[in-house]
Amino acid sequence: MKVFFSFCLALTVTVAAQAQSIYKPFKVNVSIGAAIPSGGGGALFAIEPKYGINDQIDVGLRIEGAAMARNVVVNGNTSSGDAQFASSFILTGNYMFSDEGFRPFVGIGAGIYGVAGTGFTATSGTGGTATNGNIAAASVFGGMGRVGFKTGHFVLGVEYNLIPNSNSVVYDSQGTTKVGTSVQSKNSYAGIKVGFDIGGGRR
């Protein structure tokens, strides 16, 4: 019985290997593009090593950096925060709807986002006192969804990075008393990316 199962396993592996014979499995995607947070904007750069389980399914690790100014909500009023740099390291999975020519795809990912700190100005009290503050940097867990297409080695994609908001409160100039101001930073952002795959061509 063990010999039978071993034979079936070996046969399955052999068939799977033959079924993915069109393209080489390993590739590295390099992309640049626009980072679009709520009410702000910026630029991004990403490197994503990927391995093709077969000709239509890839798994990978996306390493991305984005410089952008994002919205800060102070006491319910939205204003722009300082431009800052954010990074992410997420595991990805992609499904290609075709194995030749024009190849539309969808994908998802999840991992760690390094959310940069950002500064803001809050006005509080009856005298309208302005207080400068900041939201501290943090590492949080988030997710990503993407759609796009690949033709040859060229890749065009649109992604949305869903990241928890950052929350803070404002203290007075002495740093000891809360001034009753609530602050929230919108961390999620979209990315429009163009790039190319290095490797992964036909065998």
- Say what percent of the chain tops pLDDT 70: 69
Most confident of 70-79, 137-146, 183-192: 137-146
C-alpha span between 114 and 167 (Å, rounded): 15
CB-CB contact of 124 with 180 (8 Å)? yes
CA distances from 72 to 36, 182, 188 (A): 14, 10, 12
Query: 3 CB contacts (<8 Å, ≥6 apart)?
Result: none
The model scores a pTM over 0.85? no
Domain 2-199, CATH among 2.40.160.20, 3.40.50.300, 2.60.40.1180, 3.40.50.2300: 2.40.160.20
Structural domain boundaries in the chain? 2-199
Going by C-alpha positions, the residue among 155, 151, 157, 182 that lies closest to residue 107 is 157
The answer on pLDDT for 7 being more than 80 is no
pLDDT of 116-163, one tens digit each?
A: 777 666 665 555 566 666 677 789 999 999 999 999 999 999 999 999
The answer on pLDDT for 8 being more than 50 is no
Q: Which amino acid is at 188?
A: S
Question: What pLDDT is attached to residue 14?
Answer: 46
Question: What pLDDT is attached to residue 142?
Answer: 96
Question: What pLDDT is attached to residue 22?
Answer: 82
